[in-house]
Amino acid sequence: MERLPTGISRLDSMIGGGAPPGSVVLLAGEVGAGAREFVYTSVAMNGLKESDQELFDLYYGNAHDQARFPEEVHYISFTADSNALLEEMRYVMDDELVDAGTKHVEFADLSSQYFQLSQVPREWYSNATPDIGSLGDRDRRGTLNAIGEYLNEHGGGNLVVIDSVTDLLSAAEEQMDWNQITLLMKGLKKASYRWGGMVLLLVNTEALSDQHLGRLMDATDGTLLFEWESGGSERARTLVVKQFRGVLSRLEDENIIQFETEIHDGGFDISDVRKIR
């Protein structure tokens, strides 16, 4: 079976090359624990495969025999444009990796749809200067409709990042209902099987109740949980695969229960594997 690489080399090698095609993966983490860095690394490595094979070999290494890299990489954000995201990525990874890895990445800024019904001044999120005539020209599709339309056009066989579900939760009380978000995720899971790509959903666990996190986990194919773990005077980033269709069984066969992770110039990485004793 073909696998779509996450872009994290050591993880991909342990799960047979990556995730099954059509996977919707929830990346749920505490602030700074590695979920966002995982996203940046995934985007850069999958983009690097297309743009610079030599750098790809340097940063990622040999791809698994079953790995099929996406033809396109898309990054959807509700609050940041491409310049802001690229600057953030450069804080995490080497400039050459970011520049080459994002050369063909398509960034979709949905801030207009996200902020248009809020009290945020339009000039804060739009380059256009507002006037009386332009007020009637606003995009009224809404955030969820905009996501659906974008995914319908670009989801097939590609890697798509949605940054982030946390932003949708922040707007839920005023602009949409929580049930709408859950239904969107369930519909996305169903559609993703047909598209044959991979969708990564970023969410901050500190903004969720246990019930909401459980509902999101139920609506996706896999959940990677990023946490801080304290031991004495040191803190370590850890990754736990909570559930993952077609992946978790491989890790269970190896008795793997947790990964220690690190962030370096090559992005997010696994530094150690903890097994059941």
Question: What digits encode the pLDDT tens for the residues 232-248?
Answer: 667 899 999 999 988 98
Tell me the chain's radius of gyration from C-alpha atoms.
19
| pLDDT for res 120 | 62
| pLDDT for res 253 | 83
| pLDDT for res 168 | 83
Among 8, 10, 100, 17, residue whose Cα is nearest residue 63: 17
Report the alpha-carbon angle 100-104-110, nearest 5. Answer: 120
Can you read off the two tokens belonging to residue 9? 């080399």
Distance between CA atoms of residues 108 and 114, nearest Å: 12
Residues in the chain with pLDDT < 50? 129-140
| pLDDT for res 249 | 85
Q: Which pTM value belongs to this model?
A: 0.90
Distance between CA atoms of residues 181 and 6, nearest Å: 24
Among 100, 98, 69, residue whose Cα is nearest residue 85: 98
Distance between CA atoms of residues 200 and 229, nearest Å: 24
| pLDDT for res 198 | 96
| pLDDT for res 200 | 97
| pLDDT for res 130 | 47
Sign of the torsion formed by the C-alpha atoms of 97, 92, 25 and 250: positive
| pLDDT for res 28 | 97
